[in-house]
Structure 1
């Protein structure tokens, strides 16, 4: 195993990148109540764990170094490129930033942030009017902002998987599902039949192909 150089220990980059991605998401999500802060806090923990391994200390590489060293004896495991584990494990050559999975991850990241932005814009104006929202992503799914968070986390897993974030991801997805169900109970209490009519024709997370509805979404994320 070649450990001639390390690209880690850059804790300043951990802080800067964490603040950028957490702050950018905060500008769209705007947590209000305890439930909002729980969902946003879970996402933030994922981001910090990710960048701590990406630039700080490569815990996953360290734990797997014996196996990776025997499988890839000529690779500097503590160089930054080796942290792109999908790239390394599939034996790809060249710059991993131009690999298919890395480019696909950029698509998921962009889509996730765009969904957060569009959803918040619709929800913000609906809240000010104390009405159910009508336009945008809420026409297709009941919880577009949660989908946005999941898309962002999945995008990061495509380019930089770690043992911790891989373990966190299904737990956070389950948490968002439970939060969504809890929010729906509150929405039904607040909007009554209007919410039930909306929920009947609008899927919770996965849009129906070729089907649009003009009903209004409640104050959900």
Structure 2
């Protein structure tokens, strides 16, 4: 295994990227309740774990080094490009940043942040008026903020999968589902009939475009 040109140990980049992506999410989400902080904290832990491996210490490469070294003997596993494991596993050559999965990852990340921003704007004004959030993204799904976090994390997994983040991802998805259901119970207690009417025609996570068109007809 060729270990020349080690591209890791860049802890300044770990801190910078973690600060940027956690800060972006905070500026859009602005957690206030304990439930908000739990969902934001889970996302933040995922981001820190991701960039710690991307620029700090390549734990996944280290754990798989025996197998990877045998399968890809001419690849510098401690070069940054080898960390794009989907690219490596599929035998691609050249710059992984121009690959389809990398481009799709940026689409998912951008869509996640855009959705998070739009959802927060609607939720903020609804909370100030003590009303249900039913406008904007809430017309199509009941929990756009949680869908946004999952989209962002999924996007990062498309470009830089690690053992830790792959293990964290399904756990965090389950956590968001449970938080959403807890939030719904609180909303039903607070708003009663209007909440039940809204929930009856609005999917929880995946939009139903036919149903949305029917609501706006």
Tell me the SS of whatever aligns to 1:210: helix
Offset at residue 127 of structure 1 (A):
1.0
Task: Note the 1:137-148 alignment, pairs <5 A.
Answer: 137-148=137-148
Offset at residue 104 of structure 1 (A):
0.4
Aligned to 1:24: 24
Q: In the aligned structure 1, how far is the partner of 2:124 from the partner of 2:40?
A: 17
Mapped contact 2:140–2:209 kept (Cα < 8 A): no
Q: In the aligned structure 2, how far is the partner of 1:134 from the partner of 1:73?
A: 55
Q: In the aligned structure 2, how far is the partner of 1:71 from the partner of 1:209?
A: 45
Query: Are positions 1:116 and 2:129 aligned together?
Result: no
Q: Over residues 166-205 of structure 1, what are the superposed CA-to-partner deviations in whole Å (9 max), with x where a residue is unaligned?
A: 0000000000000000000000011010000000111100
Structure 1: gaps of 5 or more residues = 215-221
4+ runs deviating over 2 angstroms:
none
Q: How many residues align?
A: 214
Offset at residue 57 of structure 1 (A):
0.1
Q: In the aligned structure 1, how far is the partner of 2:133 from the partner of 2:162?
A: 38
Offset at residue 5 of structure 1 (A):
1.4
Aligned to 2:155: 155
Offset at residue 2 of structure 1 (A):
1.2
Q: In the aligned structure 1, how far is the partner of 2:101 from the partner of 2:71?
A: 21
Aligned to 1:77: 77
Aligned to 2:168: 168
Q: In the aligned structure 2, how far is the partner of 1:40 from the partner of 1:68?
A: 34
Q: In the aligned structure 2, how far is the partner of 1:128 from the partner of 1:4?
A: 57
Query: Are positions 1:193 and 2:193 aligned together?
Result: yes
**Which TM-score applies when normalising by structure 2?**
0.97
Q: In the aligned structure 1, how far is the partner of 2:41 from the partner of 2:169?
A: 14
Q: In the aligned structure 2, how far is the partner of 1:71 from the partner of 1:202?
A: 49
Q: In the aligned structure 1, how far is the partner of 2:145 from the partner of 2:193?
A: 23
Structure 2: gaps of 5 or more residues = none
- CA-based RMSD of the aligned residues comes to 0.8
Query: Are positions 1:66 and 2:92 aligned together?
Result: no
**Which TM-score applies when normalising by structure 1?**
0.95
Offset at residue 128 of structure 1 (A):
1.2
Q: In the aligned structure 1, how far is the partner of 2:123 from the partner of 2:14?
A: 32
Q: In the aligned structure 1, how far is the partner of 2:140 from the partner of 2:59?
A: 40
